[in-house]
Amino acid sequence: MPEESTTPDLVELTRQAVAAGSSRELDTLMSFCAPDAVWDLTPMGIGTFEGRAAIRGFAEDWLGSYEDFEIELQGVLDLGNGVVFVMNRLKGRPVGSTGDTQLRQAWVQVWIDAMMVRQMSYLDIDEARVAAERLAEERG
């Protein structure tokens, strides 16, 4: 009987985490984050959030500013060594507005033992891809 792989499918874990965020299921989203996880949004001028409580607070504030919100995945690549490159588009309608907004961005995620330990957000997709590839190589 063939043995099942014990290596987590990071693409699938990423898809599940994104689905939880898109549907505002913050308990589920936080279950993918390590207790000391870091979300680094400094390339977007927002700042860094360390630990589940800070990440959850940021997510609550961000999602709370939208009546409708969706994360549309445009590509998820496992680059090896726990590094995942994610291209996405955030779409939503801000509270009190009749217009929609969109933001195309990329994330570089680091996973250890099926837990996200770091996520960096970039507006420049090419910059994010280079950072993700360099990080995967460094972790190799």
What is the CA 139 to chain-centroid distance, rounded? 19
pTM of the model: 0.92
Per residue in 93-106, pLDDT (tens digit) is 999 999 999 999 99
Per residue in 28-57, pLDDT (tens digit) is 999 999 999 999 999 889 999 999 999 999
Per residue in 72-82, pLDDT (tens digit) is 999 999 999 99
Per residue in 89-138, pLDDT (tens digit) is 999 999 999 999 999 999 999 999 999 999 999 999 999 999 999 999 99
Q: Which of 52, 47, 6, 51 is nearest to 29 (CA)?
A: 52
pLDDT at 1 over 80: no
Is 24 within 8 Å of 18 (Cβ atoms)? no
Q: Which of 129, 92, 106, 113 is nearest to 37 (CA)?
A: 113
Q: What's the pLDDT score for residue 8?
A: 83
Q: What's the pLDDT score for residue 17?
A: 97
- What is the average per-residue pLDDT within 49-72? 96
